[in-house]
Amino acid sequence: MNLNARPSRRRRKDARPAEIIEAARVVFESRGYAAARLDDIAEVAGVTKGTIFLYFDSKEALFRAVIEATQTPPLALVTGLIDNLEPPFADAFFVIARIFPQAAAQPKMDNLALLIFREAGNFPELARYFKERVADTAQALLRRLIQRGLDAGEFSCADPDYVARFAVGGLMQLMLWNRTMGQYSEDPHEVERYLAVWAQSVVALLGARGDTRDA
C-alpha cells in the first residue's frame, strides 16, 4: 500500500504524533477502521510500526486522536463565537450558517463523520466516543447559547435541550449529505441554501423575538 508514503527522515520527536495522526486519518478514510492496519499507517507516516506505539497504545487510541485533531478546531471556533457574542443572540445561528461551509467543505470533517456512521454498528465504543466528544460537546455549546437568549428574554422555547439537539443534528446531516448524495448535486449553492433554512428553522423554534433574516 502506498498512499502518498513519505521517505523516512530525521524529524523532531514532537512533530511525529501529528504526522502519525494525519497518516492515520488518510488510511482510516481510505480503508475504513476495521481494514486499516498500523503497518499501512506507519508507511504513510514514514515511520516504523514501533514508533506508533511510542505515542499511541492501540489502533483505537489512534482513531480517537484523529477525532480530536479533526473536530477540535471547529468546536473551538464556535466556542469563541459564543463566548464573545452580544445580543441579539439569534444572530449567532446566522453567523454559524455563514462560517460552517468552510468547515463542511473540508474532507477531514465530512469523511470522519461518514466513517463513524458507517462503522458504528461494529465499533460502538468509537461511535460513543464521537458522540461524547463531538456531538454532545456541540450540543452543549448551542444549549449554552440558547440559555443566554432565554435569560435575556430573547428566546421563549419550551424545550431548549432538543432545539440544540435538532440544530446539531442538522449540521451533521449536512456533513453526511456532502460526502454521499451531495457530490451529485447540480446546485452550486446547495450548502448555503441548506444552512440558510437551517438557521431560520432553529431561530423559529426558539421563538426569537423580531424577524428572522437570511443567512
The x, y and z cell numbers of residue 189, run together, are: 449553492
Q: Return the pLDDT at 211.
A: 47
Q: In angstroms, rounded to a whole number, what is the distance separating the alpha carbons of residues 91 and 96?
A: 9
Closest CA to 159 of 145, 146, 173: 146
Which residues of the chain carry a pLDDT beneath 70?
A: 1-12, 103-108, 210-215
The x, y and z cell numbers of residue 31, run together, are: 480503508
For the whole model, what pTM was predicted? 0.84
Neighbouring residues of 70: CB distance < 8 A, sequence distance ≥ 6: 25, 108, 109, 112
Q: Return the pLDDT at 76.
A: 87
Q: Return the pLDDT at 150.
A: 96
CB 139 within 8 A of CB 168: yes
User: Which residue has 527522515 as its cell numbers?
Assistant: 9
Residue 15, classified by CB atoms within 10 Å of its CB into exposed (0-12), middle (13-18) or buried (19+), is exposed
Closest CA to 48 of 23, 31, 69: 23
